[in-house]
Amino acid sequence: MAKLQQGSLSWKKSTASGGGACVEVARVGEMIIVRDSKDVLGSVLTFSEEEWRTFLAGTRSGQFNI
């Protein structure tokens, strides 16, 4: 993937984070980009829209609860 101009992205954080350390999400075309809010210049994870929808559905259903 081409180098991201992270400063130009519109990052969103869950309101449930309470302003604390969390992950932030941005959209780049059809890709979903995720970063650590404590390390905004660090590495990012990328997901297709389908992968992201599947992840969110699994999270909502408790699939990842330990």
Residue 3: the pLDDT is 55
Structural domain count of the chain: 1
Residue 4 — very low, low, confident or very high, per pLDDT cuts 50/70/90? low
Residue 33 lies in a domain: yes
Looking at residue 19, its pLDDT comes to 66
Residue 32 in any domain: the answer is yes
Residue 6 has pLDDT above 60, yes or no: no
Concatenating the DSSP letter of every residue in the chain gives -PPP-GGGS--EE-GGGTTSS-EEEEEETTEEEEEETT-TTS-EEEEEHHHHHHHHHHHHTTTT--
Model confidence over 7-66: pLDDT tens digits?
A: 678 999 877 777 667 889 999 999 999 999 888 888 999 999 999 999 999 999 999 998
Q: Which residue range(s) make up the domain with 31?
A: 23-66
